[in-house]
Amino acid sequence: MDTLNLTGIRAYGYVGALPEEQTLGQWFEVDLTLWLDLAPAGASDRLDDTYDYVAIVQAVQTLIRTIRCQLIETLAAEIAQRVLASDQVAKVAQVRVRLTKLTPPIPDFAGRVAVEITRSRQPV
């Protein structure tokens, strides 16, 4: 199985357990790894035979901007669901989502907080 990696997808959103996070918002960054068969695209050199990563980048950014929830785990799960639910020609068998809160409001903490989940397409 092949992989397609999308890194550094950023958007400003309102996800967090603290009231300030829900009203002031903050920056999030997403890295995606998609497992799918890229052989058809490699053979044809046609965009129609691969996964349209422009569309998924835009979908992830829109989701971050519009979702309202408390946990980054919830946002990561929603992103994974969107990727797996896509009806594009190149079907994603599995996705790994790494969602990073770039500036968590934790006193005396200059680091980042991230969650990483892996989800697979359910057999039909």
User: Which residues form the catalytic set?
Assistant: 101
The DSSP symbol for 102 reads: S
- DSSP codes joined into one string, 111-122: S-EEEEEEEEPP
Given the structure tokens 């989940």, which residue do they identify?
117
For residue 104, report the phi and psi dihedrals to the nearest 5 degrees. Answer: -65, 140
Q: Please, what is the Cα angle at 91 between 55 and 51, to 5 degrees? A: 35
Contact 105, 18 (CB under 8 A): yes
